[in-house]
């Protein structure tokens, strides 16, 4: 049903800015990658934003799928040419960014999922308006943001030490403090919050699908929709 609804939306408005830009974020270890991958598997009408990087490919990474790989000089030239909606220097000489071209694909009626960090999503409206002013209103009208939250903060601890068993408790507590600070500082800027409960990833993705379907319906019928979940 959900896939058919999106197909109907695409056919109805394929010549206009009628794609949907689904933006997801959340603290490290909450399950964003798993949710994104499952969402894409269940909804082939969406494709993910492939970010650009100036670092070398890691084992198993595929050009154009994992990232678009550029040399340091190529990346800096692309910055000068105004190719990026946003970019950061991860470490001296290593850049990562999202191209304007990848975002503007919704102008062609494509549905896109974009995974970014909490700070970037909290400022997404300013970023789009400053860097793509000519089409910012169109893009933002079709954008829906989702913060994926843990069932409880201990959930992040479990995942953190699963990834790095040798990590120190002190390092984790520092990370946890930053995660909580980001939440309290920016939580009111996200359109929706979905709690990713332990072992319930299918429910998490179903909730995201519901949010996207509501967004699509609001674009067709010009109705506003309210958040469907809150973190407690």
- pLDDT per residue as tens digits for the range 204-229: 999 999 999 999 888 864 333 333 33
CB within 8 A of 53, min separation 6: which ones?
A: 67, 68, 69, 70, 75, 94, 95, 96, 97
Parts of the chain with a pLDDT under 50: 1, 5, 8-17, 221-232
Nearest residue to 46 via CA among 19, 13, 85:
19
Distance (Å, whole) CA 67 – CA 221: 36
Share of the chain above pLDDT 90, in %: 60
Count other Cβ atoms within 10 Å, centred on residue 103.
Answer: 23
Give 91-132 pLDDT, tens digit per residue: 898 999 999 999 988 888 889 999 998 889 999 999 999 999
pLDDT for the residue numbered 100: 95
The residues facing 91 across adjacent strands are 94
Instruction: Please give the domain boundaries of the chain with CATH numbers for all domains.
Output: 2-221 (3.40.50.300)
């Amino acid at each position: 049903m959900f896939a058919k609804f999106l197909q109907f939306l695409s056919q109805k408005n394929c010549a206009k800015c009628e794609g949907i830009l689904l933006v997801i974020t959340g603290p490290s270890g909450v399950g964003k990658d798993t949710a994104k991958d499952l969402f894409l598997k269940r909804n082939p009408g969406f494709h993910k934003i492939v970010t650009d990087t100036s670092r070398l490919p890691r084992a198993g990474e595929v050009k154009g799928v994992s990232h678009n790989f550029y040399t340091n000089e190529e990346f800096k030239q692309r910055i000068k040419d105004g190719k990026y909606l946003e970019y950061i220097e991860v470490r001296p000489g290593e850049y990562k960014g999202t191209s304007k071209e990848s975002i503007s694909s919704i102008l062609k009626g494509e549905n896109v999922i974009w995974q970014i960090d909490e700070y970037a999503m909290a400022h997404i409206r300013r970023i789009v308006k400053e860097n793509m002013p000519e089409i910012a209103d169109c893009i933002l009208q079709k954008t829906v943001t989702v913060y994926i939250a843990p069932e409880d903060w201990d959930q992040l601890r479990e995942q953190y030490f699963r990834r790095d068993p040798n990590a120190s408790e002190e390092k984790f507590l520092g990370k946890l403090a930053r995660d909580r600070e980001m939440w309290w500082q920016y939580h009111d800027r996200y359109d929706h919050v979905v709690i990713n409960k332990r072992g319930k990833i299918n429910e998490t993705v179903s909730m995201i699908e519901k949010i996207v379907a509501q967004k699509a319906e609001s674009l067709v019928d010009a109705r506003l929709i309210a958040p469907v979940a809150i973190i407690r």
